[in-house]
A and B are shown apart, each in its own frame.
Chain A
């Protein structure tokens, strides 16, 4: 039977796996022996090495998973031993116990894994197939591995200066342009990145290319229906989405335009948030109230911070005004991703112009 992993990621030395039955009756690993009582003199014995954890593809072929490279509240991310281009997202038992949400995720993954044209796209950690545990229960999914450093590195001068010392304005504009293009590309296919959280993006320090992770949170619309985005980051959510009060509310492209503009603002100003200024405890509250830092003349920010916004050219600032002020109560006024892409392409050309070129 076809091994998903072997067919997609042929490795010369992969041993032929014995086809495991779909629901093997495997005895669970025995629990680790209890730690001996504490004593000042004898060190506690090292814990017995845990048995190698395995997951199985939809046809029952096993793969060994390595130590987690990321651990969150719901799941952990693991590499697959012997297959460098693949990661698996494994959900904690507590998360799987939330049956309605798990079922919704199943339904969406069934659709996403069939969008094979996105499987090979290096920009997206796209879900490729589902994986199962030793007892044949659904455990998570396998996805393409996207390389890069977290986008969050860009969100504070103290951090970007240390981690990306050669980056200047050109790199920031390039990143934002790439982001706008990726979001537009997906939106054109009725895939809306419903949770714009800086932690969901990676970047290539050399080229400014952007990769999207946490793809299972995307909202996907096909002939079969709408598969929602189950999570929201309130500091980056459109006011009408916050008003709905449900993290899995259907996303519109207008909501995406608002959220994306917040992320663009943060990157271009090295960390400032358009709805955060002194006197406000929570940017999400300011989003709800429409209290934007633009238009306050930077009154609540130190000049050293506010001037980072003021260095932006007028046509870029205009887009932010339309997104956050005019477009706050009127989503139709928010600039589209295509408008952003055009403006950022122009901005990149202008900021890259050699010093002695005619203006």
Chain B
């Protein structure tokens, strides 16, 4: 059973420790600063937090003494010459042949460091950071320095190598509404999945583009969106334009991947070569943000269903967790211990985690719930946390 839970919240980083069967929150760290993601590197115990300073820019913060002290890791920066194509929502009179229809370039800067992932034990010091506007950064020295992964940044689906000059293909990455807070409409990488069998094999998920895979350590990337369906574009099966909210894999069966998408829940049992929609709207399983996979059984996953993309509320005022143990063919809803009236909690994409028999989630209304029996019964660990952005066991 895990003994620590890390929360990234609107007002800082919180560690809860389990002592004598009780979970106790420790004094908040990064007090007053939004922390969009916090996690512990399982290889060396280093704590990481992605700070979302309102005024002072995104920063990575690192603690090597269990949270007693933190230091900035300042070097997640787009290199000189990094550009991306500005994405606008076309107006009714938009003419793609007009000068306004031609690519407009922008010098890239980091808006948000949305996710941090840790390399395999065979690559000590390897870290990944996913950002808005859509760059994947890699470190091989424990976060002292970071480098933009250029093959992904220069991917033909983004217009090609804009370091070298003009776009050579059409940009097909859309923006994420999460970037609107920064006054832009840019794509973002929120999910990074590393194959525990092969450190050269990764997936990233981009809102709004889809899933990409590399099998050569990031030298080349290919779309992995076959079987995905969109209900907001004319071609629901288009290669690009998908809006994964979160993608994860079963560590024990890494070919089993799960995706909570804007347009439903999707499952792959062939390493994302194909996806299958496994939503069951009749039982409420369709829209939501996070998804968690079991550590051993690739067919088991948990979701936090919400009501419709246009409303983003609980379904009928009650909070529940749904679990499948058969690859999404059927879902069981669990409500014991969760509020069933007047609940307005939404759980963000990094706000749910599973470890062994434990499942935990934190909500936008500052509630934190834990199950120690695989999601069937829940206890509240606190009602007065700041809005929760991320929950990770460690």
Chain B associates with chain A? no
A residues with CB within 8 A of B:
none
